[in-house]
A = this chain, B = another copy of it.
């Protein structure tokens, strides 16, 4: 018998089947909430503190006062265990909304308890995509101008990703005012003559945690990183492209719209960074399925 998943909702661990929220939750009415996704590599949360720090920034950015951030570590661990994900690659999803209130745009007066919804689920590595790379499309970045807040107002992201997926692509690179910003749920990095280029952290992109790890690796292996927006009309001038994210990790981009990147295979800098990244993340299993020998 399959056990229904255990989730966490407002202080309680309950069966997913019994988890319900009010339609008057401001998350449902107004997308008035934020979220994080943290990867657990066989029980080891990756960059947990960085995710929690970003969550705090997102909460502060929309003035949600949630006092339970300290508990998220133990809740995450408990969910990984309860869902028998301790020996797997998994993730914990955390969503916090302003809470339940009569529908008016203004924030509710007085005390309101944020809605806290957390769940764990398997997140296996995208082995094929990591090895072969993915194709992507490019579209206008139509999102709002506070993309540094990881809000649940993700309708534009889903519409743009759906457009990519419907075309057989694995992501949608976004272009605002002539420059690449990020993708619908990952950051964009390009390589030219051995130098990494990526959009600087600003209100137009989410400050990617995997991106920061890649930048840190670059410092260690002496690869220069230029944090400046990449002009969309110079897409052909770059030798390699890849995207980064908690779920994507490091995914080579081998085709952008109709353009083949390089020889259509993941490039040497991308592969080097994958190897270094996997040494950190999959270190426990270097000789197993994620052996870096493959790269």
Residues of A within 8 A of B (CB): 7, 9, 19-23, 25-32, 62-63, 93, 95, 97, 103, 105-107, 117, 140, 142-146, 151-159, 161-162, 165, 184-185
Contact = CB atoms under 8 A, between A and B. Distances in A.
Given A105-B185, A155-B151, A144 B143 contact: yes
A249 to B, nearest CB: 17
B62 A152 contact: no
B28 A21 contact: yes
B103 A153 contact: no
A155 B61 CA distance: 11
A23 B23 contact: no
A26 B95 CA distance: 13
12 contacts: A20-B22, A21-B22, A21-B28, A30-B158, A31-B153, A62-B155, A105-B162, A105-B165, A106-B158, A144-B144, A152-B155, A153-B153
Contacts of A165: 105-106
A47 to B, nearest CB: 21
A140 B203 CA distance: 13
Contact of A159 (B9, B62, B142): B62
Contacts of A93: 103
A140 to B, nearest CB: 8
A142 B140 CA distance: 16
A162 B105 CA distance: 7
A29 B155 contact: no
A154 B185 contact: no
A57 to B, nearest CB: 15
Contacts of A142: 144-146
A29 B154 contact: yes
A9 B31 contact: no
Contacts of A103: 93
A188 B20 CA distance: 39
Given A32-B158, A143-B144, A153-B154, 8 more contacts: A26-B158, A28-B95, A29-B154, A31-B154, A62-B155, A105-B154, A105-B157, A107-B158
Most B-side CB within 10 Å, residue of A155, A157, A162, A185: A155
